[in-house]
A = this chain, B = another copy of it.
Amino acid sequence: MKKFINNPENVLPDALRGLAAAHPELRVDLEQKIITRAGKPAAGKVGLVSGGGSGHEPLHGGFVGVGMLDAACPGEVFTSPVPDQILAATVAADNGTGVVHVVKNYTGDVMNFQLAAELAAAEGIVVETVLVDDDVAVQDSTWTAGRRGTGATVFVEKIAGALAEGGAGVAEVAELGRRVNAASRSFAVALTSCTTPAAGRPGFDLPDDEMEIGVGIHGEPGRRREKLASANEVVATALDAILSDHPLAPADRTIVMVNGLGGTPLIELYLLFGEVASTLDGKGITIARSLVGNYVTSLDMAGVSITICQADEQMLTLWDAPVRTPALRW
């Protein structure tokens, strides 16, 4: 296994120490394994909390800051955070007006966030949950009942985060988060597998001349294996899957993310974005806003995910609102 780590068992605490050293604007609690903003948000602000297994960086810790999350709780690599940890993040994020949990749809995450929400409720904290299930590749998967949650998490956290920053109530923030998820679809293609530090070897085998169509962010199987194809064929496959599930009409406005899964060079992501842009342009669909880079990764996997959100005026306005996090800043 070729990784820059010390002990496979200490990857998360070691990385959290680095995150703390690099970002004085964050507060990293190494004992509870939660990441919060160093400064206290405005009194009365609805708290936004997300979390899930590590290995998807910058998700979620890299999205803590003004305009996005108040707290993140990273589990071990590809492992859900535990309920007490999620509860600690929830308590840290609560300013007396409730907390919204943004939860990617994986069975362990859903269960543990729900337990934490019940524990928080027992402490008098109102918790609303936004379940993200944007990946159109498969219905049900290795660790999921229903669709997997992937790239739309970034859109939900950015847009609902901006609404929360503006002083909206907990039900309103959650409702918008759910609308963003409902308006978003993702599809991913992998060229290689990924290797967790604990396993020390690739999570699945993928021949040198094949790619996994519809892969999950933990290497879960997609729809099928295919022979390697050109970038424009890959984009056509992904956009077909997305648009047949959520048709878009000419003049619709979108936010589009072309996201690297960790091992894909940025030059390829831009090349892929160019294909997405020309395809959507050909259909008269407007890309109003975009992101190109590594936002929801799968360790060292070479691959790409494409996420499209059909955005209304409110979503676009909130997308443009200021954000100050390690991974997203404007």
Chain A residues in contact with chain B, CB under 8 A?
Answer: 2-7, 11, 14-22, 54-55, 57-58, 62, 77, 191-192, 208, 211, 228, 230-232, 234, 258, 262-275, 277-278, 287, 290, 292, 294, 297, 299-300, 302, 304, 329-330
Given the complex of chains A and B, what is the CA–CA distance between A230 and B4 in angstroms? 6
**Across the interface, which residues of B come within 8 angstroms of A11, CB to CB?**
267, 271
**Across the interface, which residues of B come within 8 angstroms of A211, CB to CB?**
2
**Which single member of B5, B272, B302 contacts A231 (CB below 8 Å)?**
B5
**Across the interface, which residues of B come within 8 angstroms of A263, CB to CB?**
262-263, 265, 300, 302
Number of copies of this chain in the oligomer?
2
Max chain B Cβ within 10 angstroms of own Cβ: one of A62, A230, A270, A273: A270
**Which single member of B19, B230, B278 contacts A5 (CB below 8 Å)?**
B230
Tell me whether A4 and B274 are in contact in the complex, defined as CB-CB below 8 angstroms, given that A262-B265, A263-B263 are known contacts: no
Tell me whether A4 and B270 are in contact in the complex, defined as CB-CB below 8 angstroms, given that A18-B292, A263-B302, A265-B297 are known contacts: no
Enumerate the 9 nearest inter-chain pairs by beta-carbon distance, A residue then B residue, closest first.
A18-B274, A21-B277, A18-B270, A57-B266, A17-B274, A2-B191, A18-B273, A4-B268, A15-B271
**Across the interface, which residues of B come within 8 angstroms of A330, CB to CB?**
329
- Closest residue on chain B to residue A266 by CB atoms: B57
Least distance between A279 CB and chain B CB atoms (Å): 11
Contact (Cβ within 8 A) A300 B5: no
Contact (Cβ within 8 A) B274 A2: no
Contact (Cβ within 8 A) A299 B15: no
Least distance between A229 CB and chain B CB atoms (Å): 9
